[in-house]
Structure 1
Amino acid sequence: VLLVHDEEFSAVVAELAAISPEMEAIATADGPAGLAARIEASSPVGSVSGDADGACVLLYTSGTTGQPKGVVITRRNAFFAAVNFSFVGEIGPASVALCDLPFFHTIGLIAVARTTLMLGGTLVISDRFIPARTLAALADRQRAVTHYFAVPQIALALRNDPAYSAAALSGLHALFVGGAPLTQALIESYLDDGVALVNGYGMSEAGTVLHVPIDRRAVQDNPGSVGLPAPLLDIRIVGEGGSDVSAGEIGELWLRGPSVTPGYWNKPAETAAAFTDGWYRTGDLGRCEANGFYRIVDRLKDMYISGGENVYPAEVEAVLASHPDILDTAVVGIPDIRWGECGVAYVVLRPGAVATGEAIADLCAARLAAFKRPARILFVETIPRTASGKVQKHVLRQLHSDETFQRQA
């Protein structure tokens, strides 16, 4: 019934008002005065008891495999998700967190904002990510930002911006990254500048799940790892038969704990499919190393089978990303008459780069087994991604399907 909005969204609000006449909209063009006056003029409501297990937020999934789902976050979920990140992120009253990430995502709303405020720290909120502006804010010693959370695309954009300098980030306790795989080259470039790029793994359904310790040696010795379990979560890696796999073997990550969602909004079938005996099935494939550190191999739905062998696109993407001319890449499995499925690699070249398909194929031949090598390499201008930086592989599969149909027609 009440919508507070920035002036730049007035056109969208006008459309909403046409279909929701009972809604009252207040623009922030004149600062908070309008909202404050509206609150002052309102009659106070009675006290409302808070049910710890009642829904307080709906966070929509990224929609990387199709239609986004509304994840129900209870007050208990939000509290314990914040507690988990406070431990792994070493956040306390003296912390100052800069948040460039959207509040419709678990990183921005729960990991950064809720955790910082719950622990009595200082939260600095920006309206969007602009590399040069973020670098200036991180370099501002009066503001003294200690914690910054980025998705890999943001970390890369900061590193490539003309305003970048290692000194700008020297005041950070850590530069946290999550939401998508990190390239080894990016990790090493930050380490060379004295900045620990601390990787982690989480999701809307559970908040922080795994995290590399804030320790330069841990980052160096475990490249590509997403770290150790958050303290208030139980984690299993389960094979196809429903049993836990041995150390080093690949399986699906299952989670249980007070931060795990009770399910999806108005989607009972999807909720039932996501849980087995009280364990939430993440749909992500991973393994636990001998030292207890975890690695995410790929999405279960992204894995494809070529000639009877499992192929994990993330492994192929890591090889492609090591090419100096490749800016971005994504690999998807598509039907193939001979092999059952084969890989198609979508590649975005850096400005001015001249890498050919043959050169990229040679790199794959030198680094990958034959069944893992992409059958096709397609050059594109951009890779479709969600607002949180995840590749929309269902869009790429549809793009290939449409292209095949057009060729056959």
Structure 2
Amino acid sequence: MDYVRLHASLRADSPAVTDLAFNRQWTYGELDHLIAGCTALLQEKGVSEGDRVACLSKNRAEFIMLHLASARLGAIFVPLNWRLSAAELEVIIADCSPSLIYGDDLATELKVEAQDIEQLLPQCEKRNPVWPPQPSVDLPSLMLYTSGTTGKPKGVLLSERNLTETAINFCLLGEVEPGSRFLCESPMFHIIGMVTSVRPPLFLGAQIIISDRFLPERTLERLADKDLQISHYFCVPQMALAMRAVDVFDASSLCGLKAIFTGGAPHPEAQIREWLDDGIPIVDGFGMSEAGTIFGMPLNRNLIDQKVGSVGIPTPRLQSRIADESGRALPDNEAGELQLKGDNVTVGYWNRDSVYADSFTLDGWFKTGDILRRDEDGYFWVVDRKKDMFISGGENVYPVEVEAQLVKFPGLKDLAVIGVPDEKWGEVGCLYYVPKEAGWEIDMAELDSFLTSRLARYKIPKKAVAVESLPRNGVGKLMRHELRKLTVSE
């Protein structure tokens, strides 16, 4: 489903991609030609159907070129998370075994052997472009790594059919038009940065404007820039809050935005209404690596105000239900697991066939593991995230993964990690521990130093509490809900 190729025929001179960090811009005709050159380069390097091509870099236009060139060959593009530690990246690279890795200076810092991404564009321009026959749309073309509840990384496989379905779903919910302009600042190793900020505009022949990272004051300037004319912007609630805290914040300068789209973390109602009072729709939604865009709020400010806190509604292209543990569909306003059917649902987990099979009910519904409820008007509300997981600054953190490293830290007899509320990050990790020696306390600086080489920064606990014992049931299983109650009482 090559929509760049389509729009190269329909609107060759229309702007397709602007890369702000490097002051570069391509029309659809130019982008299609570059992707064809990149396809030739990958072929020359031996890449073929099913091979993996990885990239470790800050946001840049080469992500799009590598992904779409890989897709044209039936290969799989793997954007790597530069927020991980070198040890964590080593595990992922060993798992996906890429034929090629491209990287910027981050690759050097993280000790990943990679080809210089600075040389990719000139190399593509020197090749004779090729347009091979389109592979099956059901072949995976993108792999996004996400940690599982066991703490082991899972490679979520997304086909061109999956990715196109997400594009359609968001176009419908987000009121995307050919004249829309998306500012892509979310990291392109995430579903928001690599898919939701890219595929909807490419689907309709709109424009993608790529930024290397989020800087609150600079982002505000770009959202207000009358030359850029940004219409769609994605962020986590913490980013939206950071923009409002900028000294020069002026909501009236953002009137050109169709909306600010948020997700990935709980969004306080008071913060949503601040934006609404300023005349700016701030639109919460719900999605996941395995299924892309699932729900979204309307862009109508009155409807947002009436349903503040909801993550919205699905499009008719997606089947969703709330079910109990036996798989029975629940009535409105009862909480249960969100389950899905549709062409947006992942085609597999890399090297995890049994895990993938276990992710479906016997009657074919994908089990998200998220607890939601649907109200009488068809709007969905998040009740709880995946069991035990918490979200810090929009990043999923699984306590088991953190605890697996903490057991190596000296002085701990027993330990557990949970997420606790935090004004800046939404949630942060809190370590509850039983010391081996009574009266001993953790030095947080030592803990931070110990974990820095083992875990991404956002996974490292920011708080620690000593306790006499951890709550466990009769068979020794940790009862995290009792720790959460303890947090509330504190």
Global fold match (TM > 0.5): yes
TM-score by length of 1: 0.71
Give the equivalent residue in structure 2 for 1:16.
Answer: 113
Q: 1:402 to 1:41 in 2, by over 3 A?
A: farther
Give the equivalent residue in structure 2 for 1:293.
Answer: 379
* Matching residue's letter, 1:211: G
Distance across 2 between alignment mates of 1:11 and 1:223: 45
Q: Could you tell me whether the CA contact under 8 Å between 1:201 and 1:210 is conserved in 2?
A: yes
Deviations 1:363-385 (A, max 9, x none): xxxxxxxxxxxxxxxxx99x99x
* Matching residue's letter, 1:288: R
* Matching residue's letter, 2:275: Y
Give the equivalent residue in structure 2 for 1:107.
Answer: 192
Give the equivalent residue in structure 2 for 1:346.
Answer: 420
More displaced stretch, 286-295 vs 156-165 = 156-165
Give the equivalent residue in structure 2 for 1:195.
Answer: 280
Q: 1:114 to 1:166 in 2, by over 3 A?
A: same
Q: 1:390 to 1:225 in 2, by over 3 A?
A: farther
- Whether 2:175 is the aligned partner of 1:90: answer yes
Distance across 1 between alignment mates of 2:108 and 2:457: 28
Give the equivalent residue in structure 2 for 1:235.
Answer: 320
Deviations 1:155-209 (A, max 9, x none): 1111122232102321111111111111112111111211111110011111111
Distance across 2 between alignment mates of 1:96 and 1:229: 23
Give the 5 Å matches for 1:3-402.
Answer: 3-6=101-104, 8-9=105-106, 11-12=108-109, 15-16=112-113, 25-28=115-118, 34-42=119-127, 47-61=132-146, 66-276=151-361, 277-302=363-388, 346-348=420-422
- 5+ residue gaps, structure 1: 18-24, 29-33, 304-312, 318-329, 335-341, 351-379
TM-score by length of 2: 0.60
Deviations 1:287-343 (A, max 9, x none): 11111111010124139xxxxxxxxx99xx9xxxxxxxxxxxx9x999xxxxxxx99
Distance across 1 between alignment mates of 2:263 and 2:357: 27
Q: Could you tell me whether the CA contact under 8 Å between 1:252 and 1:300 is conserved in 2?
A: no
C-alpha deviation, 1:270, in angstroms: 1.1
Distance across 1 between alignment mates of 2:194 and 2:468: 39
Distance across 2 between alignment mates of 1:65 and 1:231: 34
Q: 1:273 to 1:347 in 2, by over 3 A?
A: same
Helix, strand or coil at the partner of 2:348: coil
Helix, strand or coil at the partner of 2:192: helix
More displaced stretch, 65-74 vs 79-88 = 65-74
* Matching residue's letter, 2:380: Y
Q: 1:343 to 1:189 in 2, by over 3 A?
A: farther
Distance across 2 between alignment mates of 1:258 and 1:208: 12
C-alpha deviation, 1:118, in angstroms: 1.5
RMSD: 3.7
Distance across 2 between alignment mates of 1:63 and 1:142: 42
Q: Could you tell me whether the CA contact under 8 Å between 1:149 and 1:176 is conserved in 2?
A: yes
Distance across 1 between alignment mates of 2:418 and 2:102: 45
Q: 1:51 to 1:302 in 2, by over 3 A?
A: same
C-alpha deviation, 1:110, in angstroms: 1.4
C-alpha deviation, 1:64, in angstroms: 7.1
C-alpha deviation, 1:348, in angstroms: 4.2
Give the equivalent residue in structure 1 for 2:69.
Answer: none
Distance across 2 between alignment mates of 1:113 and 1:244: 34
